[in-house]
Structure 1
């Protein structure tokens, strides 16, 4: 990419300024390699010295920390070390090179300043009206091999010579892409930077229209928080949660490029980890199981297993007998029932019964201690009683009974669920036991709710939740539990909600996540999707998200949108793909899931070598042409997109118009809509 300043002629390879900057880049790369070598050498020495340390855990964590440090210092050949420079107006010619990580020379002098450092903030926020001590801001252009090819200067003093920042942003966005998502650290805009640098103790929710960079904001916020709160988050952990594995594969290189390698990236299903999708879920059933009312139903279902004791406890010690009468046991159980979690409640009941026995021992002149108390609490008479009135349970046992026993479901549901809803929940052909039950994906959140009612779910320090609008209330509760004592970055777009139980209101969703006081921000100015495309897709908004304002785009791209009616879709698809492949960058063919495989086979037969997302794990990295099932398109970007037969995408699922909106907004440069069937009414308008 070459991005000359509007006040300069295009930069030549023999330009002395380019040569000087390339030399500086080479020096910085050499310094980074030395830093990596020093860490590896130190690790080897410390490992040898630690052999005498008997504390295995301490040795393990020290070694792991050094391994991660070394991994973070690996020089990625296709990632430029710096992307900008600040010339300060201090008068002594001081310059700061801004990059993805800190690099220093052998004497400790900084060669590259980490973009997250406070001094780097001026690179993103300095203006002519608020220069923040900056005289000139320089941005660099790089080739695909991270070779410095150009620079662009933006003086913040003197007479303005045009919007060089906008020119650089447009050129960077339009640079042909292939493979996984790139970071946007060189082009973060002020409104994005404000969200990226939000403090750790505040949950931030971003309603972002297509192309506004909300996913990039979330990932860069993780990198920023790990820089500013590394010790704290190193203890509590960080996770990025995406909608599916294809999406996670797409974003997997962003954080390592920023020097962060110790972040868990997972899906909602993997995060919850309770059950697979062994049974197909009816959308109506999935919607009901995702309803927030199920939380109260599940709580009652669990506590219905705690029954009224019919007898007391007799504990024998030698020739002595100690009896806790039935009325006292009933008071103990009643006092604990429903006041905390089920598992600790049972343990507490055993301890209180044991305490009643110890009181009797003391009255007889004995001196029982803690060991005696523990022995009584674990004794067979106490365990036998609790097994009857407070049985040990697994989430699967409770949910199996709830979904297979109509009378039990009615008791647990009370007035929260109608008779019709109860009938919808009940299995037509229950399994013989909970051990052989086949659970659906919708059951996963219910099992997790029960699991937390039995034992507390551990919490991490920070969690990024992308495409959050697709989560049901019960899934939100499951995710929120895993960050109950931490903060979150919640990302999504109400207009892109495609799941059966998708939530249509951020206030409601944040309440289900346990973060009702989150800072809610809207990004409605897109940078990545051309105006022609976003305006075309926005025609669907009055129907799919009537309360949402139409997004805008910061750029227009000539020929960005074409809509073509064709008599034969298969015949038209091959030349359309060939035409797109004649240009640079990636090409995505998005169609309804049921037809995408046949399209891939037709394109392969024509010699175009397409990959199929979801079937080929390296599809977006290996191939320029990728066939994308509509259900996997969310969050992805391609230079050119061909949306094949929109009507079939709409017809494939109840929220098909939402799915089509997603498909139409995946293009960074050009969108071509091919159809034989009539388009949805909103898209037929002139």
Structure 2
């Protein structure tokens, strides 16, 4: 038997032993799940949840490699002793708790798999990469790190990066590059902002960072939580399997819309005209709301009088006003100050009782604070505020808005955000996304929003200042990872700079870095799309593809666009992998009819997240962001550009659509291509 074949068989035996060990670990967890009991009901429920999460983390997918690499540590290179470690998606313990058969990719001992190189082997003599097909080990490559002078090209690594997509996004744990790994393993205390060109893996890096932090800071983050915020439900559906595949089920996922909808208790049923949305999303609205909330405070018009027994105790109006001012200077939230004021007033009453010879204690003070005269007096000075009612009043009462917005919004801007058809109650209002962000801002003026341990924000370039503030409130004591691409900013309120966005988030100290090496988009495609950069984002470094394969690019101008687009879809579907047909939103009905007439099964991406069960997806241009397909057919680029309110935004939308391809891109058009692509 040849030596390489014998080595491959040995590795296959190790894979079999590892899978058997993982089954034993899961069987053991299952046996505990049926008999776990705590000291009380609460403890029992907690134990059940822990065991359930443990069971989920030990699920084995036979089509996914249990390990993808091997490290041979060498004592001659500074290691404590010679040691062979297999690197995989989760830790697998040998029988009877012996040496690990597989170590977690996030463990410190796995670090050299991602960062070791000739000249800096990190105590590792040999790094081995494994090739798999449908979960079966088929090949391996070795790098003698201590002997090599230069890095060698890895065909296994290249094949894994270019492997055709099926269904939702998959993890990239076997292909993380050194610069990506630095971001993934950054300390929890560090907030990061990643400007990433298409195909640089910024979304995957963000998700793997979440998995790493949950591993490295398990106890802390199990209490404070990790949340991933994406642009829409289709995107969340697309990335939804990545963290579970890495054994992590504790991170939550949300969109900005679902975040503020859940927080406020209202459903988004309306849409704003762009001019109104721009004003509502402006950071100046935070000060408008702050003024509107605190403007409810009223100066005392007379003394507080508290009858108690045969006496009446008085607190002068000026003292009551001083108490209100003192609480405001402390910087407390509105509701907290409102709760404190009765106790402050009651304390003044007790001072007077003591001066008269009484000896009241804390119980007397509490009773006075809860008495009807004190509560009524405090309510008059510091009235209750409902955040939804406050925002409804701001958007319907021109005089109230003018008072709060004086010097911040001019008369024209104020008029833009007043509701055309005012609602009488919050429940009857047609709230927009921008409105709910305002309600969330008002709610935070009243009561501090609880903070998570870490928040990951993808496609952050499209968020307004008020949306960023809404997210930032969820990370006041935690850290953030901000992901995005200024060249893909397609909303009218999109950020102008990352420093500006980080300021609105409340994390101006975050480190900003740029990813420009593309592993997903082939060279011919990214170079074609990058022709738009001088117009849409001239300050950014043009991306470059590091793949050897140039990919396939076809520009198909035709007098028969309907026939040509179907031919292109059929040709793409005849190849391995997924197919995305990206079209102007207005042409969706027409393309649906064409695909159905041709007998092509497809999923329509839109308001309802798809199951990703077909190989062909029909994609409106406005929902293409964040997705990727092996083969992409872009239909009528000029129509994609023209659908946006201005040309720069339209070209950015087109840039997004052109950079969704992993293997091939066909551009079908009857109208001329935008001049920026042909110049």
TM-score bracket, normalised by the shorter chain, equals: over 0.9
Give the Cα separation in 2 of the matches to 1:17 and 1:662: 45
* Alignment partner of 2:22 out of 32, 35, 53: 32
Q: Which residue is 2:641 aligned to?
A: 650
SS at match of 1:417: coil
SS at match of 1:265: strand
CA offset digits 1:183-217 (Å, max 9, x no partner): 11111111011111101111011110000011111
Give the Cα separation in 1 of the matches to 2:101 and 2:539: 49
Structure 1 position 14, deviation (Å): 11
Give the Cα separation in 2 of the matches to 1:613 and 1:77: 29
Given that 2:190 and 2:510 are in contact with CA atoms closer than 8 Å, whether structure 1 keeps it comes out as yes
SS at match of 1:679: coil
Q: Which residue is 1:604 aligned to?
A: 596
Give the Cα separation in 2 of the matches to 1:159 and 1:479: 47
Give the Cα separation in 1 of the matches to 2:546 and 2:614: 29
Structure 1 position 597, deviation (Å): 3.6
1:385 matched to 2:373? The reply is no
Give the Cα separation in 1 of the matches to 2:312 and 2:492: 60
CA offset digits 1:223-277 (Å, max 9, x no partner): 1111111111111111111111111111111111111111111111222233433
* Alignment partner of 2:430 out of 438, 450, 455: 438
Give the Cα separation in 1 of the matches to 2:2 and 2:178: 31
* Alignment partner of 2:72 out of 73, 87, 96: 87
Give the Cα separation in 1 of the matches to 2:117 and 2:611: 41
Structure 1 position 657, deviation (Å): 1.7
Q: Which residue is 1:321 aligned to?
A: 312
Q: Which residue is 1:18 aligned to?
A: 8
CA 336–580 in structure 1, closer or farther in 2 if over 3 Å, else same:
same
SS at match of 1:101: coil
* Uncovered stretches (5+) of structure 2, i.e. residues with no partner: none
What does 1:367-406 align with in structure 2 at a 5 Å threshold?
A: 367-406=359-398
Q: Which residue is 2:283 aligned to?
A: 292
Structure 1 position 684, deviation (Å): 2.2
Give the Cα separation in 2 of the matches to 1:434 and 1:312: 36
Task: Using structure 2 for the length normalisation, give the TM-score.
Answer: 0.95
What does 1:412-561 align with in structure 2 at a 5 Å threshold?
A: 412-558=404-550, 560-561=552-553
Q: Which residue is 2:152 aligned to?
A: 163
SS at match of 1:45: coil
Give the Cα separation in 1 of the matches to 2:426 and 2:32: 54
Name which of structure 1's ranges 554-563 and 120-129 shifts more when overlaid on structure 2: 554-563
What does 1:190-339 align with in structure 2 at a 5 Å threshold?
A: 190-273=178-261, 274=264, 275-337=266-328, 339=331
Q: Which residue is 1:637 aligned to?
A: 628
Give the Cα separation in 2 of the matches to 1:524 and 1:114: 28
- RMSD across aligned positions (CA): 2.0
Q: Which runs of 4+ in 1 moved over 4 A?
A: 11-14, 159-162
CA 325–39 in structure 1, closer or farther in 2 if over 3 Å, else same:
same
Given that 1:306 and 1:337 are in contact with CA atoms closer than 8 Å, whether structure 2 keeps it comes out as no
Given that 1:152 and 1:164 are in contact with CA atoms closer than 8 Å, whether structure 2 keeps it comes out as no
SS at match of 2:140: strand
Name which of structure 1's ranges 366-375 and 508-517 shifts more when overlaid on structure 2: 366-375
Give the Cα separation in 2 of the matches to 1:581 and 1:449: 48
* Uncovered stretches (5+) of structure 1, i.e. residues with no partner: 1-10
* Alignment partner of 1:349 out of 341, 347, 356: 341
CA 136–306 in structure 1, closer or farther in 2 if over 3 Å, else same:
same
CA 381–156 in structure 1, closer or farther in 2 if over 3 Å, else same:
same
Structure 1 position 293, deviation (Å): 0.9
1:673 matched to 2:667? The reply is yes
Name which of structure 1's ranges 544-553 and 373-382 shifts more when overlaid on structure 2: 373-382
Give the Cα separation in 2 of the matches to 1:463 and 1:675: 41
Give the Cα separation in 2 of the matches to 1:285 and 1:29: 58
Given that 1:600 and 1:611 are in contact with CA atoms closer than 8 Å, whether structure 2 keeps it comes out as no
Structure 1 position 160, deviation (Å): 6.3
The number of residues matched between the two structures is 667
CA offset digits 1:150-175 (Å, max 9, x no partner): 2122222445697233x333211211
* Alignment partner of 1:65 out of 21, 45, 50: 50
SS at match of 1:15: helix
Given that 1:209 and 1:523 are in contact with CA atoms closer than 8 Å, whether structure 2 keeps it comes out as yes
Name which of structure 1's ranges 434-443 and 481-490 shifts more when overlaid on structure 2: 434-443
SS at match of 1:164: coil
Give the Cα separation in 1 of the matches to 2:466 and 2:568: 43
Task: Using structure 1 for the length normalisation, give the TM-score.
Answer: 0.94
Structure 1 position 333, deviation (Å): 2.5
1:111 matched to 2:111? The reply is no
